[in-house]
Amino acid sequence: MKAVLGLEDGDSVVGEGFGVEGSCAGELVFCTTMTGYMEALTDPSYNGQILMFTYPLIGNYGVDEKNFQSKGVKALGCVLRELCRVPSGGPALGPYFERNGLLGITGIDTRRLTIKCREKGTMRAALIVGDDSREEAVDRALSVPLITEMDLVGEVSCKQPYHIPGPGKRIAVLDLGIKKNMLVSLGRRGADLHVYPHDTPHDVIKACKPDALFISNGPGDPKRAVAPVECVREFVGEIPVFGICFGNQIAALALGGDTYKLKFGHRGTNQPVRYRDGSIYITTQNHGFSVDGESLPEGCTVSYMNVNDGTLEGFENRDLGIFCVQFHPEAHGGPLDTEEHYFDEMFRRIC
């Protein structure tokens, strides 16, 4: 099939479509991961975005559904240099996209587009599969709202509360688009999980008498997530509060801090962060916004910093029982993993 990707700056590229005919428009972002492409595509944090992989060959080990991070692909579309047609194992990515009504484009210079995004920042884009009209693709890219103008959390949060029983600490989970591995990491430590939709009021969650509140990852601009911020604000000082990625940003806003949009974000499995004791961890990340460390109120300390650009990667407030990180410790990014470093410390801090 014909396919075209148009950008808001007027640029466009024509390639080969895979999946089904159709179109989508949103923010074009790039991810540097070499494996874990299905984990990335099914990450709800990519809602509202077209995901481009910088690694030149994607699909070589097929589709492994047991590692999905949600029920199906959440990225609007997929942009590849080369799509592997004959994987080493599992169903091929192309037919999976076709069966599930998904949109993709392959056979384009992703390196050039990545360099453009690094120089100019993330841009709005439109992907059309089944046609190669460059003008139409650019027009659609220009018509889509900026991600800072969109409230995307409600589209990926659970619709009703649910319970995952466990023998240990009772954790209330605010689902802003949670990845499966977060629930797995919490459950592995015996947590009794009560999961709530993004707009659940404070008093409803408090009624389950949780030992702590956990705020998940999620898509878009955290300043648009007004209900979660207000809910978390009421829990501050009542029980320990923990958060990952979007949850880190929500916690900062609940304390009166500020967040800002990064030029092109951090997305991949190779982001180095420095802990306050000087040790370095290589982490998995997926975010386009960051907490302004200078805006955090008295009593908060920055616990992690990004080695590459100095942005905040985690903060805490011991007096209030707050411990949050920007990276994804549940993602198992490498041999020096951060899952135990974060989750074990989290449970040690719950009285």
CB 38 within 8 A of CB 68: yes
- pLDDT tens figures, 68-123: 999 999 999 999 999 999 999 889 999 999 999 999 999 999 999 999 999 999 99
Tell me whether residue 27 is one of the annotated catalytic residues. Answer: no
Q: Choose the catalytic residue: 24, 78, 245, 324.
A: 245
Tell me whether residue 328 is one of the annotated catalytic residues. Answer: yes
Give the integer Cα–Cα distance in Å for 39 and 37: 5
For 241-252, what is the mean pLDDT?
A: 98
Q: Which helix (H) or strand (E) holds 94?
A: helix 93-99
CATH 1.20.1250.20 assigned to domain 2-144? The reply is no
Q: What percent of the chain has pLDDT over 90?
A: 96
pTM: 0.97
For 197-213, what is the mean pLDDT?
A: 98
Give the integer Cα–Cα distance in Å for 66 and 78: 20
Given this model, what pLDDT does residue 340 score? Answer: 87
- pLDDT tens figures, 274-320: 999 999 999 999 999 999 999 999 999 999 999 999 999 999 999 99
Distances (CA, A) of 327 to 160, 167, 272, 284: 27, 28, 10, 6
Q: What percent of the chain has pLDDT over 70?
A: 99
The residue whose two tokens read 């240990």 is 168
Give the integer Cα–Cα distance in Å for 199 and 134: 40
Ramachandran sector of residue 2 (left: φ over 0; alpha: ψ -120 to 50; beta: rest): beta
CATH 3.40.50.880 assigned to domain 153-348? The reply is yes
Tell me whether residue 330 is one of the annotated catalytic residues. Answer: yes
- pLDDT tens figures, 14-44: 999 999 999 999 999 999 999 999 999 999 9
Give me 159's structure tokens.
Answer: 């619709």
Q: Choose the catalytic residue: 194, 198, 287, 328.
A: 328
Distances (CA, A) of 272 to 176, 266, 284, 286: 25, 11, 9, 13
CB 50 within 8 A of CB 81: no
Please report, for the chain, the start and end positions of each structural domain, with discontinuous segments joined by +: 2-144, 153-348
